[in-house]
Every structure is written in C-alpha cells, then in structure tokens.
Amino acid sequence: MPKTENEKGFVEIINGRYKPKGKFHIIEANQPIYNKDTGKLAGVTNPRDMTYIHSYGGEAPFFEGIGKGKLLATRCDNPKCKSKGSIFEPFRIYCPDCLRKATIVDITEKAKKTAKIHSFIITHRSGAFNILPKPIKFINVEFDKEVVTILMSVLAVGDPEIGKRVVPIFRTKKPTYTIMDLMFVTEGTSQSDLPEGFTF
C-alpha cells in the first residue's frame, strides 16, 4: 500500500550532516499463510516497508547531470600516469591506474556523435520491481577511442545490432536521479517517439 505524505522518509543535509525526517520503517500486521490443500497453517507474511538512504558521494554530479540532459564522465589528467587523457564512462571518481582524482568532463556531444552498440542482450523476463517495458533491450555502449570503458544501458527505441549508432536520451521531466534517467535510442529517432519525460 502506498505511503501517505506523513509516512514518507525525507533527508536533507544541514551543516554537513544528514538530517532524516519522517518514517523510514513501517511495520504492517502479519497475515497467515494457509496450505489450500491441507487447510493447515504453513507460515506468516512479515511485511515491512523500508526507505533507504543511498549516498552518491563523488558520483553525485553524474546523476544530477543526466537529470539535466548532460552525460558527464571523468578523465585522468595526471601527466605521470600511463592513462593520461583516458576518459571513463561510467563515471569513475579516481583513475584506476594512478589513483589520482579524475577531472569531470561533459561528453554529451561526443556521445551524440560517436556512441554505438558494442554488444546487447534482449530479455523477456525481469526481476522484482522492474519498471522497464518488456522485452528489455540491454546494450553495452562504446564511444570514440578517448573513452576507454563501455557503458551498460537500455535501448528505449529501435532494434539493437552490434555496431549500430545510438544517441543518449535523458529523463529531464521529473528525473529520478538514478541511472534510469539515461537511456539510448537508435540514430534518427524522432523526439515524438521518445518515452514520456525524455528528451535528447
């Protein structure tokens, strides 16, 4: 059952500290589970409603960016590192080779011009709490040679094919501030074909 506004948990940061307010754990009454074949008690449900605080830390700019229509990545700028100039997407806070803090870079235009499908899988079944329409077209996206990593995402419009050009789309209307605010569509898709709330 959905929570009322008074039951929702909210968090703010004040003076560098998390300040939760509201309810983060709601207990509901147990319900018996009866075996329909024997009529005997087999167990009980133990329903709980939990709200989790999930901190993004140094990755917060990435999630805020996709909600504003920007694809942010990071780049190693350490002149002594063999990976100098390498761009990481998904976003990495530190260079995995020299461990120096990476520089945040905007690769939105690079993605629009160079993104293509590296590999894909289509699934007709999903786990609990899935909000994606089925079949789900999971894709691994590669960019130009400066981007040394591959991003996993979802193809929202079009049919996947290895090497096919794709462009990013962003949930800019009511963003969730999760990876679900970023998806891809095949090149040439029109704005009118995008899922509700998404833009180029």
- Name the pTM for this structure: 0.83
Read off the pLDDT of residues 112-131 as tens digits, 9 standing for 90 and up. 999 999 999 999 988 777 88
Instruction: Yes or no: say if 137 and 124 are a contact pair by the CB < 8 Å rule.
Output: no
How far is the C-alpha of 145 from the C-alpha of 77, rounded, in Å?
Answer: 16
How far is the C-alpha of 162 from the C-alpha of 36, rounded, in Å?
Answer: 50
The HSE-up count of residue 67 (CA atoms within 13 Å, CB side) is: 10
Read off the pLDDT of residues 36-89 as tens digits, 9 standing for 90 and up. 999 999 999 988 777 788 889 899 999 999 999 999 999 999 999 999 999 999
DSSP letter assigned to residue 94: B
Number of H helices, E strands in the chain: 2, 15
